[in-house]
Amino acid sequence: MKRFVLAVVLVALVAAAAMAALAWRDVTVFRETPYGGPDEKVVVVPPGSSARAVIRALAQAGVLSDERVAWRYFRFVKRDRRTFRAGEYAFAGPLRPDEVIERVFRGEVKLYRFTVPEGLRAEEIAAIVARSGLASEAEFLAVARDPAVARALGVPYASLEGFLFPDTYSFARGSSARAIAEAMVARFDDEYRKAHALRAPGIALDEGRVATLASIVEKETGRVDERPRIACVFLNRLRIGMPLQTDPTVMYATMLRTGRWSKNITRADLLTPHPYNTYTTAGLPPGPIASAGAAALRAVLAPAQCKDLYFVSRNDGSHVFCPDLACHNAAVQRWQVEFFKRGAR
């Protein structure tokens, strides 16, 4: 009887050892084998989730191949006192379990990216943010137009117009419109500091006026090489008290008056007094008309040296610059009147 009991115990031990060996083999294969298809799989880890719940969610989403083996691996091999971080995670392609688990340990959440080109107004930027899915246009515009937010962020005007720096941004799901705007203003501050370090002697404009003039320069030309000279023209005009007479400010003024944006400027638009209409109001407008990029900021603070007071488009993105009215009228005749007459033939 005693021998029988020993034999049973021995068989049980052998069986247990065999099962343990098989289980360990499963864990080893699991650990070394990448798993998952090329399609993106999104997993949301709620705050306070247990390790078991996270492993289950990853397995059910098809990120880990086997929940049972994954949990065994986590408990007995992946021993770690760190906790999983809440958030939205995206996985794509064959991944080893360690790659998956470490990503959630580190909190490498899914990021939503959007790019803001130079020269856009706040409402245009709000539309881009909305397309990213991070915040609605209304939410973002409410922040951008809130004087209290502007004051808190050190913006010298009552809105963030002109201070939402054009760049590519990445944010996690759940980022607020305020957080997005703060990051954009912080980028402006960074680029302004860099441009300020290049400030030329005699340029006495403060930050707000620099942002305002840079926004006009940005809208007047898409050519980086021309911006310092465009800035020089406007600075020369300001110095002698000559109206800036720049069309982009008229379009902005018309939008503020009518609530509609249009690139078509009428004679009535030019003649209607408004603080942003630089044909009827001397000096700079009371704030930026768009968000300028780094090149335009640098152009205002370190402009070209010139005596020009005028510039005329060559209709190819470049301009002819003139120091006096006679030169300007000749350029207008050649590049506007005659150019379009030839095109009409």
pLDDT at position 341 is: 74
Cβ atoms of 177 and 143 closer than 8 Å: yes
325-to-41, 284, 302, 331 alpha-carbon distances in Å? 64, 22, 25, 10
Do 167 and 115 contact (CB within 8 A), yes or no? Answer: yes
Q: How far is CA 291 from the centre of its chain?
A: 12
Q: What is the mean pLDDT of residues 211-239?
A: 96
The answer on pLDDT for 301 being more than 50 is: yes
Q: Is 276 exposed, middle or buried (0-12, 13-18, 19+ CB in 10 A)?
A: buried
283: left (phi over 0), alpha (psi -120 to 50) or beta: left
Confidence bin at 343 (pLDDT 50/70/90): low
The pLDDT value given to residue 25 = 65
CA distance linking residue 328 with residue 325, whole number of Å: 5
What DSSP element (H or E) covers 258? helix 247-258
pLDDT over threshold 50, residue 22: no
Q: Which residue has the tokens 């409410």?
A: 142
The DSSP bridge partners found for residue 44 are 88
How does strand 41-45 pair with strand 87-91?
A: antiparallel
Largest CA distance in the chain: 123
Q: Which of 67-71, 212-216, 230-234 has the lowest mean pLDDT?
A: 67-71
What is the C-alpha separation between 162 and 290, in angstroms, rounded?
5
The per-residue pLDDT of the chain, averaged, comes to 91
Q: Please state, in angstroms and as integers, the Cα–Cα distance from residue 327 to each residue in 61, 252, 307, following that order.
A: 70, 29, 12
Of the pLDDT bands very low, low, confident and very high (cuts 50, 70, 90), residue 116 is very high
DSSP string, 10-53: HHHHHHHHHHHHHHHHHHHHHHHS-B--SS-EEEEE-TT--HHH
- For residues 264-275, give the mean pLDDT: 94
Higher local confidence (pLDDT), 33 or 13: 33
User: pLDDT of 177-224, one tens digit each?
Assistant: 999 999 999 999 999 999 999 999 999 999 999 999 999 999 999 899
pLDDT of 340 > 80? The answer is no
pLDDT tier at 8, thresholds 50, 70, 90:
very low
* Helix, strand, coil shares, percent, the chain, to 5: 55, 10, 40
pLDDT above 90 for 17: no
